[in-house]
């Protein structure tokens, strides 16, 4: 399996051989599901909190005497039945993270990359160096490559000019080969690697 390589002017620069182990059809789907579920769960803050009867501010004094008033018995202003009282079975701070072992994460990343390559959604750039951090220059590169829709740019390392030029472009995300995860790989319509960024990902998948 080979990937087309282009320069920032959109001209062909040959092909790049895929060296990581391709995941066969029917394998790795569950790993992708587990990793995506764990990723989304990890984004949850888990800070929602309500006060119980013991935490609500107020006196422990009995609102009125037990008998003789004609009203129902009441023992506390903090009763869950009362406005301003405690909440029964309300949300409490919790950790939503799910454990996924490293071999599953790697299988999921290989599966996701395999499927994106098979679908023709992956492109490799010989290099992506911008002389300035101007958004206009970055948009010109996307136009030359005929890339539209949601796009993920994967470079070798953090590039200040690239990050400055792309941050105001909607539907474009920039990451590095070392930070790339399965969710990022599956979300966009197109995935654009720099040659060095792609080699960094292959190095991860070879472990």
Residue-wise pLDDT for 187-201, tens only, equals: 999 999 999 999 999
pLDDT given for residue 134 in this prediction: 92
pLDDT given for residue 159 in this prediction: 86
Backbone angles phi, psi at 56, to 5 degrees: -70, 135
Of residues 102, 60, 52, 77, the one with CA closest to residue 204: 102
pLDDT in tens, 108-139: 999 999 999 999 999 999 988 888 889 999 99
Structural domains of the chain, ranges and CATH numbers in brackets? 2-44+99-205 (3.40.1370.10), 46-95 (no CATH)
Query: What mean pLDDT do residues 158-167 have?
Result: 90
CA angle 128, 129, 131 (to 5 degrees): 145
Whole-model pTM: value is: 0.82
Q: Is the pLDDT of residue 183 over 90?
A: yes
Mean pLDDT of the chain, nearest integer: 92
């Amino acid at each position: 399996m080979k990937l087309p390589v282009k320069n920032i002017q959109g001209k062909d620069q040959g092909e790049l051989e895929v060296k990581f182990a391709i995941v066969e059809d029917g394998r790795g789907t569950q790993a992708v599901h587990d990793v995506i579920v764990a990723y989304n769960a990890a984004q949850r803050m888990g800070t929602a909190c309500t006060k119980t009867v013991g935490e609500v501010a107020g006196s422990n004094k009995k609102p009125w005497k037990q008998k003789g008033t004609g009203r129902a018995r009441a023992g506390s202003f903090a009763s869950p039945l009362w406005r301003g009282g405690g909440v029964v079975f309300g949300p409490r701070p919790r950790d939503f993270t799910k454990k996924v072992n490293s071999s599953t994460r790697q299988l999921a990343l290989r599966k996701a990359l395999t499927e994106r390559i098979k679908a023709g959604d992956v492109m490799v750039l010989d290099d992506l160096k911008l002389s300035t951090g101007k958004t206009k220059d970055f948009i010109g590169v996307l136009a030359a490559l005929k890339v539209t829709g949601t796009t993920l740019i994967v470079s070798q390392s953090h590039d200040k000019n690239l990050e400055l030029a792309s941050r105001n472009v909607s539907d474009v995300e920039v990451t590095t080969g070392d930070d790339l995860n399965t969710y990022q790989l599956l979300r966009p319509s197109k995935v654009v690697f720099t040659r060095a960024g792609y080699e960094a990902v292959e190095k991860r998948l070879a472990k």
